[in-house]
Chains A and B, each alone.
Chain A
Amino acid sequence: MILTASRTLVRRDLLLALRRRSDVATALLFFIIVASLFPLGIGAEPNLLRSIAPGVIWVAALLSSMLSLSRLFAGDHADGTLEQLVLGAAPLGVVVASKTLAHWLVSGLPLVLIAPLIALQYDVAAELYGVLAVSLLLGTPILSIIGAIGAALTLGLRGGGVLLSLLVLPLYVPVLILGAGAVEMAGAGLSPSGQLLLLGAMLIVAAVFAPWATAAALRISLE
């Protein structure tokens, strides 16, 4: 029954995203534009671009995932669906995990897929595309999972969007350091497995514990 509820919820959120494609496109276009602004502003200096590429792409991914975060629970809160989810048959932690998964599929996965294209603009060596994609594949779900806690805490607050950034961005720092670091290590000819394994470990810990923290925050926000 818990699986049914979880599957229903993921499918519902994907269906909603499909019916509101502009929301999905906004976050993705934001990522592409922010990442493309740097080469334009800095100028065509291949060595410089190559060295800042991992950091810039990761920061752009961070900001883009922030952008869609405030919508994670806001829509359900506004039309009363969130109360029904809290009162549903599945534990709230499972509800949160399912919603976060759907959020990542819609806002995180496209970034992973488009990142090599962005890396092309920075003249990143082709053999680094794989490491970049893997680091984003492990890192962006963490952004969604941790961000969900912030989204739940700031639910229904006026100016919640700004507060959400202030709450969540500092928590993204380790992910940023490890994610960008993995690509830099690989660029220097070293093995990025240390960073990637740490990202993987963070993902597992976040996926197991954070949904329950988000659930608790949601209950407080709904009172």
Chain B
Amino acid sequence: MLEATELECERGGRKLFAGLSFQLGTGELLRIAGPNGSGKTSLLRILCGLLAPTQGEVRWKGARIAELREDYSRDLVYLGHAPAVKDDLTPYENLDIACRLMGAGVHQEALGWALSAFAVPDLPVRKLSQGQRRRAALARLLLSESVRLWLLDEPFAALDAAAAAYTEELVGRHLAAGGSVVYTTHQPTGIDARARVVQL
């Protein structure tokens, strides 16, 4: 499914990693591990096509992602370091817009259900805490179960135990349904045991 060959990444004149190859099939979980500044986020950004690798290539279902562009984008959900929610909108509006931009119109009830599942209060995002913002961003996963590939950058950062456990459960369900997940984390989590590890 997802296939990375001989990836090399250079940022600011410093080589972060080189010769990195791995594959990710359906129902597989991959953890990118490494200390701060080792290039975990860069690797995730390369995998979703935001960053071009210095060398090597990423293929999705056999085709290069640089050529697939939007066709690849439709098959993936990327949750980056920043929660990608607008301060001046409510979590509901944020989620609604995010889903529409992904090309999937979602019913009102589904949006409300996803947000209440993550216990996100209905306030402008400006008034939410760091963890609540993260929850508002993660609520998108509940509406993205049909999207094959999830790329999650530090999904557990700032989450409390309950929300982290719920996220783990979501990842588990997605894998069971034949999806693939790549994630980075600094704290030990319940899904680590199931994950293959790419060490940077």
Binding site for B on A (CB under 8 A): 1, 4-5, 8-9, 12, 15-16, 19-20, 75, 78-81, 83-91, 222-223
Q: Is the interface of A mostly helix, strand, loop or mixed?
A: helix
Question: Is A83 in contact with B80, judged by CB distance below 8 angstroms?
Answer: yes
User: Known: A15-B93, A223-B50. Is A90-B101 also a contact (CB below 8 A)?
Assistant: yes
Question: Is B52 in contact with A223, judged by CB distance below 8 angstroms?
Answer: yes
CA distance A53 to B46 in the complex (A): 53
Binding site for A on B (CB under 8 A): 48-52, 69-70, 73-74, 76, 78, 80-89, 93, 97-98, 100-103, 105
Chain A residue at minimum C-beta to C-beta distance from B84: A80
Chain A residue at minimum C-beta to C-beta distance from B137: A80
Residues of B with C-beta under 8 A to A91: 69-70
State the 3 A-B residue pairs at the shortest beta-carbon distance, nearest first: A80-B82, A89-B103, A80-B84
Q: How far is the CB of B146 from chain A (nearest CB, A)?
A: 13
Q: How far is the CB of B66 from chain A (nearest CB, A)?
A: 11
Question: Is B103 in contact with A1, judged by CB distance below 8 angstroms?
Answer: yes
CA distance A20 to B88 in the complex (A): 8
Q: How far is the CB of A74 from chain B (nearest CB, A)?
A: 13
CA distance A80 to B74 in the complex (A): 18
Question: Is A4 in contact with B49, judged by CB distance below 8 angstroms?
Answer: no
Question: Is B88 in contact with A87, judged by CB distance below 8 angstroms?
Answer: no
Q: Is the interface of B mostly helix, strand, loop or mixed?
A: loop
Question: Is B83 in contact with A80, judged by CB distance below 8 angstroms?
Answer: yes
Question: Is B101 in contact with A16, judged by CB distance below 8 angstroms?
Answer: no
Partner of B86, one of A5, A8, A81: A81
Question: Is A9 in contact with B82, judged by CB distance below 8 angstroms?
Answer: no
CA distance A16 to B126 in the complex (A): 13
Partner of B80, one of A8, A19, A80: A80
Residues of B with C-beta under 8 A to A90: 70, 101, 103
Question: Is B84 in contact with A8, judged by CB distance below 8 angstroms?
Answer: no
Partner of B82, one of A8, A15, A79, A89: A79
Question: Is A4 in contact with B105, judged by CB distance below 8 angstroms?
Answer: yes
Partner of B101, one of A5, A19, A20, A79: A5
Question: Is B78 in contact with A84, judged by CB distance below 8 angstroms?
Answer: yes
Q: Assuming A5-B100, A75-B86, A80-B81, what are 9 further A-B pairs, CB within 8 angstroms? A: A4-B100, A12-B86, A12-B89, A15-B93, A20-B88, A79-B86, A87-B73, A89-B74, A91-B70
Residues of A with C-beta under 8 A to B76: 87
CA distance A78 to B88 in the complex (A): 14
CA distance A152 to B98 in the complex (A): 22
CA distance A86 to B65 in the complex (A): 14
Residues of B with C-beta under 8 A to A19: 88-89
Question: Is B78 in contact with A79, judged by CB distance below 8 angstroms?
Answer: no
Partner of A87, one of B50, B82, B93: B50
Q: How far is the CB of B130 from chain A (nearest CB, A)?
A: 13
User: Known: A84-B78, A88-B73, A89-B74. Is A16-B100 also a contact (CB below 8 A)?
Assistant: no
